[in-house]
Structure 1
Amino acid sequence: MKRGLVGFGGVRGVALDLGSARARVWSSERGLVLDAPTARRGRRLVSRGTVADVAGVVALVGAAVEDGRRDRLSAVVTTPVLSDDSHRADVRTVLAELGVGSVVMIDSVKAAAFGAGADVAGPLLVVDLGAQLTEVALVVGGAVVAARRTALGLDDVRTVFPIVEVVGEAVLELLHGDCGAQVVDALDRGVLLTGGGALRPELTYKLGHRLGAPVAPAPAPHTAAVRGAATALQATHRHPTGS
């Protein structure tokens, strides 16, 4: 089992990435302890990036979260960009049911950039291609300053062309927004591709052609978000007053 980031700095906690296709849990002491489908008996526990079945998610990830002393555990959980209060409340309910004491939420695109080891100081465009969501975000100084999210993913299409068009339209909207100059700089720098869709070479090629910019998949793009959440977990313990 993969064990990168295990036992860093005495931190005790878990990082969670609850995707529409798979749930991943990373333990600070044991590494990646869960990488499982979020569909059970034909029903999704997580749908369009939101928790559809709180009890089902609790049952799925519960065994991966350490038994005992859970009230002392910290958790960093990824959430799709532009998530609403209802989804965040459901995530907190899941962690409360598991008895986890402290919860920090992080945009999945930001977590994926961290997990990819990208330089997030300057303008960076991150495109996250999921099973049921496509997210496009401009990250500057480690923060998401502008984003678009579409309820369309690779499970919904037969070819990659609809996804390419969705991303192209999202980038165009960002170009016409208040952060247009930074988007131009980010395009010159190159687009970071994350999520399961980044494993498909034809998407990388066609997105590069559509955007007229370099496009590169993150290393192990399907697990970049949970790795980034683990990095954020470490950061919250180093600097507990700034999540």
Structure 2
Amino acid sequence: MTAPRLRGSARHPLRRDWGVALELGSARTRAWVPGRGLITDVPTVTFGAGTTYPIQRGTIVDEAGCARMLQRLLGHRLPRRTRPHIVLTTPVLDGPAYRSAARAAVEVLRPRTVRTIPTARAVALAAGAGLSRPLLVVDVGAHLSEVVLLSGTGVVDARRAALGTGDLGAARPAGIADTVASMITEMLRQDRTSRTADALHRGVLLAGGGALRPGIVHDLSGLLGVPPRVVPAPHTAAVRGAARHLCALHGGGLGARPLPR
């Protein structure tokens, strides 16, 4: 009898490309692995002398703490000897400082590659929204709200406010809706083209935990004059969109796994 062919060995294990989509939010950290789905959705906290919050209002304030958190959450979930491809969502207006700190933090996972994607772009991908026409994306998180105008593959304009659902103890839902509407109004006033107006007429794409609050959705609809289009499962839209981007970049190497919806 012919012995079966062994694929790999203990000394030379099979290499299999893995990918991880990451959302490092001020309130929650989420990770999505193609083929496995959402594997982590937990508060963004780290432990040492006490409980600390390494990301605040969309800014990484403790890079080392963020790395420790990622090691604790994901280090044991990735196969040994694997160097994953990572796609990381980033707030639009944090710029190079956030991307640099985030890339340094994820180095604890020994990535093969690290790509970043603006959160608004990831939301659009999760919603399957085409960008052949201008698109307004509103992301209302726990501690940060962003309004972003997308056109083609790029960010045309963006606004942010340090206000979110975590502030509802001090701010009414109408206060969040008012802030978002004010940012959109400012964009309309400063836009010398028709792109912002066209995107508003098309309908605002609403994501983040704030999209699960009926009061915010209702108030925003009244202020804008058009009902927002709420992304399915809006609280996980960013990480799912990052996973779609990951699959598009490394689809063949990741085993052509189904795209998240």
TM-score, normalised to structure 1, is 0.87
Listed as ranges, the matches of 1:214-233 within 5 Å are: 214-233=227-246
Following TM superposition, by how much is the alpha carbon of 1:29 offset from its aligned partner in structure 2, in angstroms?
4.2
Structure-1 residue corresponding to 2:67: 58
Following TM superposition, by how much is the alpha carbon of 1:55 offset from its aligned partner in structure 2, in angstroms?
3.0
Listed as ranges, the gaps of 5+ residues in structure 2 are 1-15, 254-261
Following TM superposition, by how much is the alpha carbon of 1:168 offset from its aligned partner in structure 2, in angstroms?
1.2
Does 2:33 align with 1:27? yes
Following TM superposition, by how much is the alpha carbon of 1:134 offset from its aligned partner in structure 2, in angstroms?
0.6
Following TM superposition, by how much is the alpha carbon of 1:238 offset from its aligned partner in structure 2, in angstroms?
5.5
Does 2:198 align with 1:185? yes
What is the total number of aligned residue pairs between the two structures?
Answer: 230
Following TM superposition, by how much is the alpha carbon of 1:28 offset from its aligned partner in structure 2, in angstroms?
2.2
Distance in 2, matches of 1:52 and 1:181, equals 38
- Asked which structure has the greater CA Rg, the reply is 2
Does 2:210 align with 1:197? yes
Distance in 2, matches of 1:198 and 1:24, equals 17
Other structure's SS at 1:166 match: helix
Q: Pick from 80, 93, 110: which aligns with 1:68?
A: 80
Does 2:147 align with 1:136? yes
Distance in 1, matches of 2:242 and 2:108, equals 20
Letter in structure 2 aligned against 1:55: A
RMSD (Å) for aligned C-alpha atoms? 2.1
CA contact (8 A) 1:116 1:221 kept: no
Residues 204-213 or 57-66, more deviating: 57-66
Percent identity, aligned pairs only, is 44
State the 4+ residue runs in structure 1 displaced beyond 4 angstroms.
none
Structure-1 residue corresponding to 2:178: 165
Distance in 1, matches of 2:219 and 2:191, equals 27
Structure-2 residue corresponding to 1:14: 20
Distance in 1, matches of 2:213 and 2:17, equals 35
TM-score, normalised to structure 2, is 0.81
